[in-house]
Amino acid sequence: MRIEKVDVLIIGAGPAGCIAAGILQKNGFSLKIVEKEQFPRFVIGESLLPRCLYNLEKAGLLEAVKAKNFQRKNGARFIRDEGEICQFNFSEQYTDGWEYAWQMRRAEFDKTLADEIQLRGVELCYQHGVESVDFNDERALTTIQPNVGEKYQIESKFVVDASGYGRVLPRLLDLNVPSKFPPRTAFFAHIKDPIREEGSELLTEVVDLKGAWTWIIPVAPGITSLGFVGEPSFLEQYGNTYDEKMYRALLASHPKLHERYSENLVFDFGPESIKGYSISVKQMYGDRYVLVGNSTEFLDPIFSSGVAFATESGATAAETLTRHLNGEKVDWEKDYAQYIQQGINVFRTYVKEWYTGNLQTIFFAVQKDPSFKKQICSVLAGYVWDNTNPYVKKHNRAVEVLAEVIKSQKTAV
Ligand SMILES: Cc1cc2nc3c(=O)[nH]c(=O)nc-3n(C[C@H](O)[C@H](O)[C@H](O)COP(=O)(O)OP(=O)(O)OC[C@H]3O[C@@H](n4cnc5c(N)ncnc54)[C@H](O)[C@@H]3O)c2cc1C
């Protein structure tokens, strides 16, 4: 079988893989990306956080994305009950950093990154899927099966697994660990939305349905991504077919959604469903590999944190790997795994407290008394490594305690 040689093989050309490639290429390593699909391809995850821009800039990919003029996202708005609103503007946050992000069809965003990486001379082969990987003391030997043509092998010093939901190395090396969150389902579509409330196109909106929630993301002019997320037992009160009929029934279940979207509903894409997406791993790295992006852990879509993690882990892995390949002694546990785990742990607390209802208690209280709003806004912007923020550093207790204080004040009144 034919054998190619590179310093680093990257599996997957999503945001995690492209960010890693951008940094490793700048640092002078020979690379190859193998991507199972042909881009553009659909992937869910259409609302970004400002922290993504920091990593895009590091990888030299920011200007290419800016040039696309994707829909700007200035913040997030949470809506409950009879239209009660809590709005977080990223320009009003605690941590110093980017104050906006974008919301767009991921197919277009991911292709922008991949095209730019190719323009910079990185070899990216579409429709080349990984079949197996064999590691020894000296190298990794990966067997690739292209859609068309003969199998071949790639010998590399290191493998970066950025295969997202494909979870190539977690599957091959038996690293998958089930999530502690109950399995939830997302049921979503892109729908025509020609007349938006002024300013709402600059926000991602979340509507609390008490038992489930809905995202509303303006992904393109006149097109909105609208998805329902909940445990199957909740969603399946409205059917179990996950088709247009069930989607219409869910929309009709909430007066505001019904009023805004039910009449003249036209589907641009979907509806589609994804079930049981939360997953974790036993370890994030090994002697000749590192897992980045969704290959590591995916928590929940509620705070749109997936691409922020994909880019942060892609960047951190690439920087750590650069030092490793340059012969420096690297502490992968501390420099990579613990660092990424800190961010995951912070978001895990916020996800957990969203589903306990404590976070809604806080959101709708800080709307009236904004003393803690800036700190919480920074978490929602993806700045979950800023340990000067008490709602990052002491996330374990801070969120719960604040919710308890708010609840006790309400009881006292
Ligand atoms: C319902 C839902 C809603 C979400 N909403 C958001 C959101 O609003 N904002 C957000 O930031 N995140 C969101 N996410 C998370 C987001 O989808 C992911 O976190 C993000 O796509 C991860 O990027 P990645 O680069 O790790 O993987 P991906 O984007 O999945 O890219 C991985 C690539 O690897 C390729 N691949 C897979 N297997 C192989 C193989 N064997 N060989 C070669 N290539 C392979 C795939 O084809 C793919 O192109 C959501 C997730 C869910 C489930």
The H-or-E segment that residue 79 falls in is strand 75-80
Q: Whose CA is nearest to atom 22 of ligand 1?
A: 294
Q: What is the reported pLDDT for 197?
A: 85
Q: Which of these, 300, 302, 278, lies nearest to 207 by C-alpha position?
A: 302
Q: 162 and 19 in contact (C-beta within 8 Å)? A: no
Whole-model pTM: value is 0.96
Q: What is the reported pLDDT for 247?
A: 98
- What angle is formed at CA 183 by the lines to CA 180 and CA 188, rounded to 5 degrees? 135
Q: What is the reported pLDDT for 195?
A: 85
Q: Whose CA is nearest to atom 30 of ligand 1?
A: 164
* Tokens, residue 276: 């049981």
CA distances from 266 to 41, 134, 259, 261, 269 (A): 22, 49, 15, 9, 9
Q: What is the reported pLDDT for 411?
A: 67
- Three-state helix/strand/coil letters over 249-301: HHHHCCHHHHHHHHCCCCEEEEEEEEECCCEEECCCEECCEEECHHHCCECCC
Summary count for the chain: helices (H), strands (E): 15, 19
CA distances from 42 to 48, 104, 203, 269, 285 (A): 16, 12, 22, 10, 28
C-alpha 135 – ligand 1 centre gap (Å): 25
State phi, psi for 143 to the nearest 5 degrees: -95, 125
C-alpha 363 – ligand 1 centre gap (Å): 28
Q: Which of these, 331, 336, 291, lies nearest to 310 by C-alpha position?
A: 291
102-116 pLDDT, tens digit per residue, is 999 999 999 999 999
316-373 pLDDT, tens digit per residue, is 999 999 999 999 999 999 999 999 999 999 999 999 999 999 999 999 887 777 778 9
* Tokens, residue 229: 């997320």
Classify the C-alpha dihedral 23-27-28-29 as positive or negative: negative
Please identify, by atom number, the ligand 1 atom nearest to the C-alpha of residue 307.
11
> CA Rg, the chain, in Å?
22
Ligand 1 neighbours, Cβ below 6 Å, are 11-17, 34-37, 43-48, 129-130, 162-166, 168, 186, 274, 277, 293-294, 298, 301, 304-308, 310
C-alpha 94 – ligand 1 centre gap (Å): 29
Separation between Cα atoms, residue 276 and residue 230, nearest integer Å: 10
Q: What is the reported pLDDT for 412?
A: 62
Separation between Cα atoms, residue 32 and residue 124, nearest integer Å: 6
Q: What is the reported pLDDT for 69?
A: 97
Extract the runs of DSSP E, i.e. beta strands, from 18-74: 31-35, 71-73
Q: What is the reported pLDDT for 413?
A: 52
CA distances from 294 to 14, 163, 164, 176 (A): 10, 7, 4, 12
Please identify, by atom number, the ligand 1 atom nearest to the C-alpha of residue 292.
26
Residue 256: other Cβ atoms inside 10 A: 13
Please identify, by atom number, the ligand 1 atom nearest to the C-alpha of residue 48.
11
Mutate to test the pocket of ligand 1, among 110, 160, 291, 304 (most ligand atoms within 8 A of CB): 304
Q: What is the reported pLDDT for 372?
A: 86
Q: What is the reported pLDDT for 127?
A: 98
Mean pLDDT by 10 residues, the chain (413 residues): 97 98 98 98 97 98 98 96 90 96 98 98 98 95 97 98 96 93 96 89 93 96 96 96 97 92 94 93 96 94 96 98 97 98 96 94 82 92 97 94 88 60
C-alpha 121 – ligand 1 centre gap (Å): 24
Residue 372: other Cβ atoms inside 10 A: 18
Separation between Cα atoms, residue 357 and residue 316, nearest integer Å: 33
Q: 13 and 33 in contact (C-beta within 8 Å)? A: yes
* Tokens, residue 52: 């993504």
Place of tokens 């800190």: 342
